[in-house]
Structures are given as structure tokens and as C-alpha cells.
Amino acid sequence: MEPKSLKVIYDDLYLTDYPTVSCEMPQRVQSIMRVLAEHYPVVKPSSATDNDLLLVHTQSLVNIVKSDPQLFRVAVAAAGGAILAANLACEQQPSFACVRPPGHHASPDSHWGFCFFNNVAIAVESLLKRRVIGSALILDVDLHFGDGTDNFFSGRREVTVANIQDNYREAFLRHVDEALASNQYDLVAISAGFDRHVEDWGGTLTTEDYFTIGRAVRDFAITKCQGRYFAVLEGGYNVNVLGENALALCQGMDNPVTP
Ligand SMILES: [Zn+2]
């Protein structure tokens, strides 16, 4: 099934300067949006509800994050962005959710690594629980292992969490293809970290490689899962290159090719 042209999901709440490490700064999403807003329509999500959070997290973790109201407000806005992206994907509407804080290090009962709630896990679990989809592939291309996502879906046969951990460029891209070829899924979610870029911490992938990843997911989704796919921002810390890298991924994901 042919997907529609790409949308970007964003909320000014993501610019909140909540207490976190200095590298996970509001300028990350600001630098991405400066580029993406020129190319794609931007939609604002609703924030996630407690019931959404509790699909993945324990009440005690929710309470810990809630104890800082400013942080909680941003964290539920980020989870809401991923939920909207997942819902749109099921209408053949691909999107890139430009959120912060990131989510893939958040486990059911704990959080670390600049993450608080697991945005992608909440979004995918919400679709599974509502029986909108029966299976999913989560392709995590961040530099770091998405332990939170892996912990939550561990033992669940209907969800494959593919953490691509190879540090050699060609092998990395081959593993992306292998993850996509390995099975049939109802939906593909990209945990889109850009910290593997040659000018970021990982020093492996080029900007063009993010286009290649987006295009591989798009082509797979069109032929194998009724055009259902979306991406959510995870890491990526060099604000000088984040915008062009996110644009490359979006151009790869878009259908037809971005003007
Ligand atoms: Zn990372």
C-alpha cells in the first residue's frame, strides 16, 4: 500500500530546559526543526495519559518522574508524540516525531541515559494492546544499545527489537537490511538516534546513510507491512549536523521523494 507524504510531529514543550545532562539540550530539537519545518507539515501531538505510560511502566516510575512537574510535562509530551506517530503510521501516514527527552533507555521500572519514559515502546504497545497491529519490528539505529526497549519486549514473540550494534559502516548497513529481511511484521518503528554520525560520538555513519536507512524501511514497509512505519528521535548531540541528518532520514522515508 502506498504511504502518504511525510509529516513531522513536534511540540514547543520539547524546548523546555528541564534538569538533565548538558548535551541533551533544547537546541537539539531546535536545530532539527529549523531544517525540517522548511520541508514538511508539522503536527502537534496530545500528551500521553497515565494509562498510556502504564502500558509499559510501573506506577512507581511514573510517580518518580511526576515528582518533577516540569520534567513530567515534557516527558508525557514526548510519549504523546510517539503515540501520534504510531497511530498515523496505521493510516499509511509516515512521520518523524522530533521529541525530547529520548526514550530507549527507559525500562518498565527504571530510567537512565537522559531517558524517562520509553516513547517508542509505549507507542508500539498501545497499537498491540488495541489490536491495531499483531506484530512489530523496532529498528534501533542509535549508537547506544536500547536496553529499555529490549527489556520491555523481552520474551515477546510478536515484537523484534533489532539493536544494530556494529561499528563498521558497511556491516552496520548490512545488518539493517538483514533485520528488515528477517521476518514479516505489521509495522516498523525506527528508534532514530543520530549519535552514530561521523561528526557525532560514534563516528561511523554518513548523512547519506540515514537516507539509505529511511529508504530501506520505506521500501520494506510498502511491500511487507501495508506502508506502516514511523520514526522517533532518540540520541544525537552535534547540533551542527543533527538537522541535515534528520532531513536525510525523512527524505529516505518520504513518499514520493521530498521536493
Ligand atoms: Zn545514543
Tell how far the Cα of 40 is from the centroid of ligand 1, in angstroms.
25
Q: What is the mean pLDDT of residues 214-243?
A: 96
| Each residue's pLDDT tens digit, 188-201 | 999 999 999 999 99
Q: What is the mean pLDDT of the chain?
A: 96
So what's the architecture of 7-253 in CATH?
A: 3-Layer(aba) Sandwich (3.40)
Buried b / exposed e across 162-177, counting CB within 10 Å, b at 16+?
A: bbbeeeeeeebbebbe
Q: What is the mean pLDDT of residues 31-50?
A: 98
Class of residue 50 by CB neighbours under 10 A (exposed 0-12, middle 13-18, buried 19+): exposed
**Per-residue pLDDT for 257 more than 80?**
no
Tell how far the Cα of 141 is from the centroid of ligand 1, in angstroms.
9
Tell how far the Cα of 205 is from the centroid of ligand 1, in angstroms.
13
**Per-residue pLDDT for 170 more than 50?**
yes
∠ CA(24), CA(25), CA(30), 5° rounding? 125
Do strands 95-97 and 229-233 pair parallel, antiparallel, or not at all (unpaired)? parallel
Domain boundaries, the chain: 7-253
Q: Determine the Cα–Cα distance for residues 219 and 94; give it in Å rounded to an integer.
A: 12
**Per-residue pLDDT for 6 more than 60?**
yes
- CA–chain centroid gap for 204, Å, is 20
**Per-residue pLDDT for 89 more than 90?**
yes
Tell how far the Cα of 147 is from the centroid of ligand 1, in angstroms.
11
Tell how far the Cα of 25 is from the centroid of ligand 1, in angstroms.
14
Tell how far the Cα of 194 is from the centroid of ligand 1, in angstroms.
8
Tell how far the Cα of 234 is from the centroid of ligand 1, in angstroms.
7
**Per-residue pLDDT for 105 more than 70?**
yes
**Per-residue pLDDT for 2 more than 90?**
no
| Each residue's pLDDT tens digit, 52-86 | 999 999 999 999 999 999 999 999 999 999 999 99
The whole-number pLDDT of residue 11 equals 98
Q: Determine the Cα–Cα distance for residues 32 and 135; give it in Å rounded to an integer.
A: 30
Tell how far the Cα of 187 is from the centroid of ligand 1, in angstroms.
23
Tell how far the Cα of 143 is from the centroid of ligand 1, in angstroms.
5
**Per-residue pLDDT for 101 more than 70?**
yes
**Per-residue pLDDT for 184 more than 90?**
no
The whole-number pLDDT of residue 259 equals 44
The whole-number pLDDT of residue 182 equals 77
- CA–chain centroid gap for 143, Å, is 13
Tell how far the Cα of 213 is from the centroid of ligand 1, in angstroms.
17
Q: What is the mean pLDDT of residues 98-105?
A: 98
pLDDT-based confidence at residue 157 (cuts at 50, 70, 90): very high
Q: How many CA atoms lie within 13 A of 142 on its CB side?
A: 27
pLDDT-based confidence at residue 133 (cuts at 50, 70, 90): very high
| Each residue's pLDDT tens digit, 141-150 | 999 999 999 9
